[in-house]
Structure 1
Amino acid sequence: MTIAIHVTDLTRRFGELVAVDRISFEIVQGEIFGLLGPNGAGKTTTLSMLSTMLEPTSGTAEIMGIDIKKDQDGVRKAIGIVFQDQSLDEELTAWENMDFHDRLYRLPKEIREQRIDELLKLVELSDRKNDIVKTFSGGMRRRLEIARGLLHHPQVLFLDEPTLGLDPQTRNHLWKYIEILAKEKNITIILTTHYMEEADRLCNRIAIIDHGKIIALDTPAQLKNSIGGDVVTIQSPDPEKIATTLVAPWISRIESHDKEVRITLVNAEQHISTIVTRLNEEKIPVTSISVYKPTLEDVFLSFTGKTIRERDADRKEGMRMHFRMMRH
């Protein structure tokens, strides 16, 4: 088993703000590894350090055995990267964008043209290779950016929010290409995302990151199993009363927030009638009840006490307060 990425106590500070706080992990070759967390959690900062675009404050990391501090050129030759923000030239064709990027690596013309053809075929853009990029849809642009990032045959590919803003159908198509790269090309992929479904579908392992720290790291299945059973969600205008009313030895966890109660228990189908009966006896109004298997959203809630959407809202409010203070 080859270790493709080795990270030890990696830290990045911006003044008093600790954006990434002593994170450590290893990724094996051919693995799809996800950094899952809300906006501002430290995901992009982590990728920026690993790709040598940002100097770590402390800690170490190696990409394919190459130290990110001691041999930045070596790291850049070993990696490909697709940024969160588009970096294509919209006035050039798909082929011209690929060719321009390939020339930066000084590859012979024959090899350049062969790789461009192969990769455009991989992402199903061969028939649009001579079209100007500004005529492409968002999904087509992301596919072209992934193809461009693979031109120099990198061993490791960084994908920063690869499907951000794309419609569900396009997102599914892009997932297919990412899976092919790992399974058939043996490329190690580290991606950042705040889409739970994306992390669950693609990643062999996931590191949940919040406030710059890794708070959980395991396979999607093991993370969901750590919750300890099925999940019953109850929507009600009085969630606090439900939380105090439903006390039973077969309930392993009960949490109340934002007009919703989430109950974790084993074999929910055996206890749902008891739950409904007790709520009726106490005359507690209920809007809806649902039963499902744990999701990564439940895992995030279990570790942080908030959903990933609430974390995003907290950070936006924090930024607004910061700017208000700066104006006064």
Structure 2
Amino acid sequence: MSPEALANCITGWQKAKGRNDLPWQLHNDPYHVLVSELMLQQTQVKTVIPYFERWLQTFPTIEALASASEDEVMTLWQGLGYYRRARNLHAAAQKVVRDYQSEIPRSAAELKEIPGIGPYTVGAIRAFAFDAPAAIVDGNVKRLFARLFALPYEVNKSTNDRYFWQLAEHFTPARDNRRFAQGLLDLGATICKPQQPLCALCPLAKVCQALQLGKVNALPKRQQKKAIPTRKGHFLLDVSARGIVLEQRPASGIWPTLWCLPEVAQAPDAQLWTRFRHTFSHYKLDGHVWLATPPGNGTTRRIACHQLDEVGLPAPIRKLLQQLIASEVCNQQD
């Protein structure tokens, strides 16, 4: 199939059947595209939509985001996970305001200099914000190409990425790339799904090599992942009518710069209040929460229960504290 024929097929389908009413598509505003693309990294569209809408209510412009405090940014991001994206988005806004007169640049070379913007995001911004001929490759595109061309490459092996980028660059049209790029993503997300793909509804069914070879369920190939280890974590709960002692975590490691129950290296000689589990990309956390007074340091402070919404908290810690508040422990402790 020629690049022109593929582009015509995908853009025609996208116009008629694709997703055309997502919040960040309404104006094709470069700032909106930047926010949505960083939020969409490793996160599904349906999860991102309410966060995106709240974000624009609080930070309607890139200048508003650039001038916000880190606490404000992290508080609004909490629950979305992968918090480094929030810090990158904040830093990106500050760089754009400082170095590009608040205008997100169009060129790939300049976009690559902005924090948090890698090859995919460069292509996405250029395609969706400026309708420029820029290739995009993400999990949806890899899966679609792997089936369409019956590719033998494992899609979760980074050394194979170059094959998918070469295909994307070959088929990216010189015009109307905004719709073509969105069509690739829409086909992967809604038709060429990981499980139970809707091949009967696919506009590429007649030329899909995996379908012709009976290999749709065997593709794409994936490298077997290693088992995720489990690590214990020990957290201290010091609660009174004056609030809860929290510490701000360092800029590196898990939950960077968020406020959290103080963590210690070993289990203290104290009463166990509860346990929780949380899965990160590389390990599972088996959290133990102990009723104990943490050692005082410059990173801890007692925060009133009614002010917890004003600080950024990791999702599992926020859930625990909400349970604590619901039990009225804050009012009972001395």
Which structure dedicates a bigger proportion of its chain to helix? 2
State TM-score, norm by structure 2.
Answer: 0.25
Which structure dedicates a bigger proportion of its chain to strand? 1
